[in-house]
Amino acid sequence: MILDTTDCAILSSLQEDGRITNTELADRVGLSPSACLRRVRSLEDKGVIDRYVALVNPAAIGKATSVFVEISLSSQEETLLKSFETEVAKHPAVMSCHLMAGNSDYLVRVACRDVEDYENLHRTHFSRLPGIARIRSSFGLRTICDRTKHDLT
């Protein structure tokens, strides 16, 4: 989809503050409230706006430890990939999972309380996933940058 400057302005504002009122948004982007609402609904209908969420501070809920898990599977067979993807996504500590090109098949980001919490997750979930050949875990020491806003230029 081709986005014009007004669409980009709407998306930028919503990425900064998803709770902005339609009237405030319309003022920011130079549209009437009804025209702005039509634009937002069109962006939603076309799938450009995927969903609205509240971003929670992991430290505030006791999940300040980020673990990046590289997983290699024993085979690239399609049914095994699908089975792995279905099972890995079931655990609520898994924040993201990406099929990769390179040394490992998947990169999984996990949010946990501490090392012991991750050890339990590793033992009871990751090591039991279908087709596991290798698991390599790296602990994040400090988050430098964690963006949720996409550059629209």
What does pTM read for this prediction? Answer: 0.89
Q: What is the pLDDT of residues 27-84, one digit of tens each?
A: 999 999 999 999 999 999 999 999 999 999 999 999 999 999 999 999 999 999 999 9
- Give the CATH number, domain containing residue 113: 3.30.70.920
The dihedral built from the CA positions of residue 79, 70, 56 and 147, taken in this order, carries a sign that is negative
One domain, residues 32 and 63: no
One domain, residues 79 and 12: no
Query: Does 153 fall in a domain?
Result: no
Which residue segment(s) compose the domain that 15 sits in?
5-45
Report the amino acid identity of residue 101.
A
- Give the CATH number, domain containing residue 9: 1.10.10.10
